[in-house]
Each structure stands twice: as C-alpha cells, then as structure tokens.
Structure 1
C-alpha cells in the first residue's frame, strides 16, 4: 500500500475514535485509553513502519516513521509518544541488533497480534546516571537471570515486550562497566515483570508509567548483539530516538498553531479580532517559526537517522535537535494557552493539556540542561583537538553549523574559555543547539520550502541566540544561600 494511503487510513481511524465515536477532550480527563481506541488504531498496523519488509513491515523507513509520529501528534501527543516508544525504543533496536530468530518472533507478534514494546533503562537512583545502573544479569543454564528495579518506563503494564538493560555481575560480585540489552517477552514463562507501583503522572494521562521489579529469566538468544560495545549501542539507540522527537513535535506544534490562528481570527476584542493586535501577531509568528524549524528537523532526521547509519557519535546533532524542539513544544503550549486565555486552562483543552503533556519531553531521554551542557562539552573537545577556540571559526568549519554561523558572525566571533562553569556550558549549549537548528532551516529553505516561513524562522532563531548570548556574556554569578533564615522575614522590618 502506498504510504499516503496508509497514512490516510490511520487518520481516518483517529478521526473515528477521537471525534466521531468518542471525544478526545473528554478522554483526556481519565487515565489510560478506552479499549476501542487502541483496537481501532492498531487495526491499521501503524507500528509496521518500524518493521523491515522481509518480516511483513513497511521497511523501517525513517521518513515514514517521522510522518506517522507527526500525524498522530496532531490529534494526541500521548498516542504519538506511544508510537515513538514502540518504534524508536524497541522495534528499531531489534531490527538493527537482534538475531534472526528474535526478529521473526517479535515482528510476527507485532504484525499479526498488534503487540507493543518498550524500553527500561531508568532506575530510581540512576536516572541521568544510566551508566551506573544497578540492574544486573548473570548467565545460568542458557538463560540470563536479570534482577533490578526500573521506573518511568512508558507503557508500564501494557507492553508485551520490553528491552531490558542491565550490567553483568562478575563472579566476584561486582558489576561490569558495559551495558547489555535483552528482549523480554512477558507472555513467556519466567519473564513476567512485576508492576510495583503505577505512577500518577502529571500529564500524558493516556500512557501508564510506574515502578517495575525485575526478576526474570531471558533465553540467551534474546540478547542484542552490539557491533562493538553495549554503551555504543545504547548511544546509537538514544541518539536515533532523539532525532525522532521532531516527529512527535511536528503535529503537536502544527495543531497548536492551527488552533491559535483560528481562535485569533474568530475572537473579537474591542470590536476587532485578535488577529489585528500586534502582540497576537508576535505570538502567532513565533508559533509559525516553531512549525518551520520543526519541519526542518523532520526533513533532516528523515535523511540521516535511519537504522542503516551509526549515530553513536552524533551527540552534538541529536542533543541539539531533542533539546531545542522540546523547548519549542513547551513554549508553543504556553503561548497558545496565553493566547486563548482562561478557556485553555483546562485538561480538556488541547493548549492547556499541552503544557503538562509536553513538559516531560524536556526531561526524559536526557534532561535538556544536561544535553545542553553535553553539546558544549562536545564542542570544546573539538576545539581543543583543532586548537581553534574562536566560536565562529569552530562553527564555520563544522558541517552542522557552517552556513548558519555565517549569518551570526557578529554574535559568535569571540574566543571561548575552555574551563567554563556548568551554567555557562548550559547557556553555550543553548546557543549552539539553535545554530544547529538554523542550519537545518536554511537547508530546507534551499530545497524550496516556503521562503517567508523560512525567513521568519531564521529571524526568531537569531533573536533567541542574541538573547542567550547576552546572558552568556553576563559575568555576574549568584549561588544558593543554604542558611537563608536569618533576617529574611519581611515582617521584621515593618
């Protein structure tokens, strides 16, 4: 089936369950999804986009996967994330790193039984510090015995398959440094995962999260096979997943933009519609800029993020894409809510709901603060290697930023200190991340994308970069005062 026809089938199914048979705004008030919703949507076999052709899928094409995520997020960010978890965090790693027997087993169940899968990395005491996870495995009679505790895995209690991560326990009782991945089938003996607690997550009501206790026996054939090390495999997986965030952001921002424009056109204030007010124009222009920037990211990821490519070393690009696009998601939701006003301050309004639904995107798969710092760390490492410490010269010589840096020379033409405090590393990363994204916008513009939208997006990015650079150059630094109780009650000074 041609992809457009496939996508139209999915859109028709979503329209039926979200707008005809049910009301998505009312569904948003309750946790989980009514059974008929997932049944009708999964009947279209949307997850086939993440499965190779030889196993009955659509070929694991990145442009199709990103288009699927965008189509879903226009209606429901939670549904899009559900697709993203299945595809980026389970099906794609299986397609790339599992053995033949495991691929057949997994993909057959997805195609014929509409199964779902997820990934468990995060632990209660080891979130961002995943390399020090305490979940362990040991080999015993052809099985791997995995023990540990995982939490905040999307689809907790729902998924039929899980990719479990653990470190090998040595005979001396010490955990080895590398990380391994295992396919757990909860429908097979000794592979059931105990859900110890289901969390009351603040947003994304339709996706269950919780704490899971691992004490499972996984057949040795279900261990993923890294090309070199497990850590490198994990980086490849996570960077590819981050490069697909624009797919989830695309439909979400597009919908907020459409809703905001429609509201501004129809809403009358003082005998004029909102569209005629300058501040409203500014908000709408930024939403359109976010739409354009996200479009550029989708275009770029479609070309470079396929499973045929090794993304383990693409940290600067992947971290830039994920952190900037998720910042834009949150800002878009905040702006749309502000524009609509009190009516949007409801869970059953897409703008208000969008604030809490998009907020965790800035946290999971790498907190944005950490990713921005890592962008700077990677850049400084490249600078030291090239012995070039002028920011403009360094970015000009990098294919990810070469054209965009030319437009920003007056802002970027200065030397970087290589021993920056962490807060400055974060600020610098915010700048570099947006330069990376501007490069993608310029490249999309060169392909013929709407020139007015491109120019507006570039102007918005230039403005953000100027503001961020102003903060970066500010030398004043404040630190938290641990003992602040003394002389800090205002009533004592009346």
Structure 2
C-alpha cells in the first residue's frame, strides 16, 4: 500500500461535516469551552480529540489521501468550527489557506507526500511567517534573508505575530535573496521549515500576551536555519505574484471563518431577545432591538453570499493574484461585520455578555484582530478605492455608477442603487474619503454576489432585507464623504487646554 494512501474512509461530505460539527459541540460542552477560554492554549488532550476528527483532511489533495481541497468543504469546516470557537476556526484557517493550499500549489513534489502524510496521520499543523517587527504590512521591505550554500538555503531574520508560534510543526517562511554584492533582491522567496529537524528549528524569543484568541500562541521568532533546496516553493512566474495569489486566496476564504461566528452571534442574540422579559413583553418588542437583529441577519446573509462566491473563484486551480479588489472587499467587510456582530450580541446580552466566559464578550476581542491582520481594513479599503479610481481614469469614466455598471463584479448590484451611485469623481480624494468609498464598493460587490446566490434559490426575504440594509449603509457612507472636513491633529494642545484653569 502506498504510504500516501489514506486510511480515512471517504465519507460523503455532509456526513463528514455533520460528524465534525456534533463532535466539536459535544467536546466543548464536555470540556466547558467557556472555562477553557479563560486560559492560554488548549490542553493537549483536547487538541488530540479535535485533530482526531481529521478536520484538515479537507485541504489535502486526494492523491495524498485527503478529501481533495474542495473550497466548499474547507469553508464548511471553518464555519462549523467558528460557530463553537473563533480561535479554533482561525487555527484551521491558518493551516488551510496559509500552509496546505500553498504547499499543494507551489510545493516541490519531493516534499509533499511526507508533509501531507504527517498532517493526516499525526495531526501536524503549519503556519506562515511574513510579518517582521519593523515592517508590518510593508512586507516588500522585509529584512529576512536567504542565501544558497552547499545545496542548502541559509535563512536568517526575525518574524513576529505568527499564529501558532512555537506550536506549528511546519512553517512557510518568506525572505529575500542575498546577492553576491550583499544586497537583498526585490523578489520574495518562500521556504518550508520542518521544526522537527534540528537545523530547521525556529527559536521562540518571546510569547506575546495577545488580548484575544487565547487558544492561539503568538510571539517573536528568531530564524537562523538551513533548509534543503527542495524546500523552496516554486512560483509560476515571480515570488511576488505567488505571495499575492496566496494572500488573496486567504482573504477570499475569510468568510468561511466569519460565517459560523456570525450565525452564532445571530442565534444567541435571537434566543436572548425571545427569552428576556422587560415589563410585559420580551426584548423583541423594542424597535431598536428589531433593527439590531435585522442587522445580524443581514451580516449572516452577506457572509453566505461571500462563501458561495468564494467556492467558485478561490480554488488553487485559479490564479487570484490579480483579484485584489474582490479579495480585499471580502476580507475587510466580513471582519467589520464580525466585530459589529459581537458588539451587538454583548449589548443585547446585558451585563452577562461582558465576560470572557461569554461567547459575545470574548467574541469582541477574538474578532478584533481580524480587522488588523493580513492587511488592516483601512489599508484594504484604500486599496479597493485606488484600484477602482485608477481603472476609471484609464477608461476615462468620471461617473461612479456608470463605471460600476460596466464591471462584472458590480454590474447587477448597481441597478439596485442607481440613484445613490449617480455621482462623478473628478478630483483626488483624501484617504479618509477613500476609505469610505472603499466600504461602499465592498458592499456593492457583496450585493452582486448575493444576487447570484439568490438566483440559485437562496431565501428571498433575507436577500431583500440585506439589500435595504446596505442601501441605508451606503447612504450613511455617502453622507460621511460629503461632510468630511479637513480636520487634522494639533501639534500641541498644552496651551489653554486644562479645564481646571477656567
């Protein structure tokens, strides 16, 4: 029998997902996930039970014994996990989008079998190291270097804020080649490090006291390793394009992590509002509560549309290096919705919601970094606007609505908002206006995806309500753009600013 042949029965996906969903719910009920969330990490016995369910088999190719890397299956696992625990879902998301998918698409055939075998057989985990202490989102200026010596790449540098720090068995590490003149090349290289090999082990200098996501260790990593030549990922063209393909694919699959979390916030909030009696009726009798629940249902609906769209465009067979606008829209909007959903849930839950042992309370802190990592949302919204405005200038189109009506990503949705989007842009916009414009574009793109899903039979009332909710949000954002004043921070506020003197 071939080593890569799986001993996993290839059960139908619905059966596989149902078994995973019920098992995780039962495990976390038995172990009390609310108490587990009060301490760092998960006990090894709990991790073992989780990984025994083979959740990451969805992201292993069939020829290596996995379920075949079907996006629908990957997002389904992410969603099922995030309904119970957002950190657990992020752990899977890191493994799937930032290690297993890049390995399957760009890895050397000589190393794939052994790594995939360890994931399936022993519950191995992998992560990605890009971020450096001095360069954050400015990844192209990273200082981690690689140099080929005697059939091995010597990699040196410092990375931090990698999820699964000190816990992952394998790492994808980004670096730049050190040339003969001692300068770093402009392109980016990716290498696989197997931490169980002495020369590839990565030193954890410090573990961070992350404010949320307690289950996942983060920290500062010192890299001084040697890896064989075959551990280098093989780009189709350039390393930069490969990095964009990897990051955009990850952003396109963020809705999988958001989906279950948003549904949990919606379900728990609805239950709370039905059961909580104020005076002679429950909370649902209040108009503001109706609006908040409707918002949660809209978040659920828009995330559903994103997941469905991602299934058709984000598989590894597709090159998504040029899909920045769609990818950034999904990542930024779904993570904004996650944070807002947690805030709503806590508000509706009252005092009991303001506890780490409450899923809404810890959900505020657990969802918050989603708006920051893999590109802060302000940066992504700005990039969305820059991409659209650049193309508008290229096509010599000043009317915003007219342009969107010609773009496949927005063509159908713009018909619903003709009145709101009928304006021209013929002057440079400040960044604060670009961010608001990016938020509008992200919503139009998502409504376009929702109309596609609705045409396939998705619930009409949920669709209609989301269309109206987004109409309201677009109106607020347009008002924000038109009323932005050129307010800037003052250099010195010490003079005449102490109220006690007056």
Q: TM-score, normalised by structure 2?
A: 0.97
Give the whole-Å Cα distance in 2 for the aligned partners of 1:8 and 1:440. Answer: 27
Q: Which residue of 2 aligns with 1:10?
A: 20
3-state secondary structure, aligned to 1:139: strand
Give the whole-Å Cα distance in 2 for the aligned partners of 1:394 and 1:183. Answer: 43
Q: Which residue of 2 aligns with 1:223?
A: 232
Q: Which residue of 2 aligns with 1:487?
A: 496
1:382 to 370, 373, 391: 391
Give the whole-Å Cα distance in 1 for the aligned partners of 2:40 and 2:415. Answer: 49
Q: Which runs of 4+ in 1 moved over 6 A?
A: none
CA shift, 1:189, in A, is 2.7
Matched, 1:331 2:340: yes
Matched, 1:345 2:365: no
Give the whole-Å Cα distance in 1 for the aligned partners of 2:411 and 2:34. Answer: 44
Q: Which residue of 1 aligns with 2:102?
A: 93
The one-character-per-residue Cα deviations of 1:426-448 (angstroms, maximum 9, x if unpaired) are: 11111111111111112111111
1:156 to 143, 165, 172: 165
1:369 to 371, 378, 381: 378
Q: Which residue of 2 aligns with 1:360?
A: 369
Asked whether the equivalents of residues 147 and 153 of structure 2 are also in contact (C-alpha less than 8 Å), the reply is yes
Query: Please, which runs of 5 or more residues in structure 1 have no aligned partner?
Result: none
Q: Which residue of 2 aligns with 1:51?
A: 60
Matched, 1:168 2:177: yes
Q: Which residue of 1 aligns with 2:199?
A: 190
Asked whether the equivalents of residues 433 and 484 of structure 2 are also in contact (C-alpha less than 8 Å), the reply is no
Give the whole-Å Cα distance in 1 for the aligned partners of 2:301 and 2:444. Answer: 15
The one-character-per-residue Cα deviations of 1:210-257 (angstroms, maximum 9, x if unpaired) are: 000000001100100001100100000000000111000000010111
Matched, 1:415 2:424: yes
Q: Which residue of 1 aligns with 2:218?
A: 209
Give the whole-Å Cα distance in 1 for the aligned partners of 2:53 and 2:87. Answer: 18
Which aligned pairs between 1:60-71 and structure 2 lie closer than 5 A? 60-71=69-80
Which aligned pairs between 1:100-179 and structure 2 lie closer than 5 A? 100-179=109-188
The one-character-per-residue Cα deviations of 1:273-323 (angstroms, maximum 9, x if unpaired) are: 111111111111100010000000001001111000000000000000000
Q: TM-score, normalised by structure 1?
A: 0.99
Give the whole-Å Cα distance in 2 for the aligned partners of 1:197 and 1:216. Answer: 18
Query: Please, which runs of 5 or more residues in structure 2 have no aligned partner?
Result: 1-10
1:443 to 443, 446, 452: 452
3-state secondary structure, aligned to 1:253: helix
The one-character-per-residue Cα deviations of 1:446-494 (angstroms, maximum 9, x if unpaired) are: 111111111111111111111001111124210000111111111222x
3-state secondary structure, aligned to 2:412: helix
- RMSD (CA atoms): 0.9
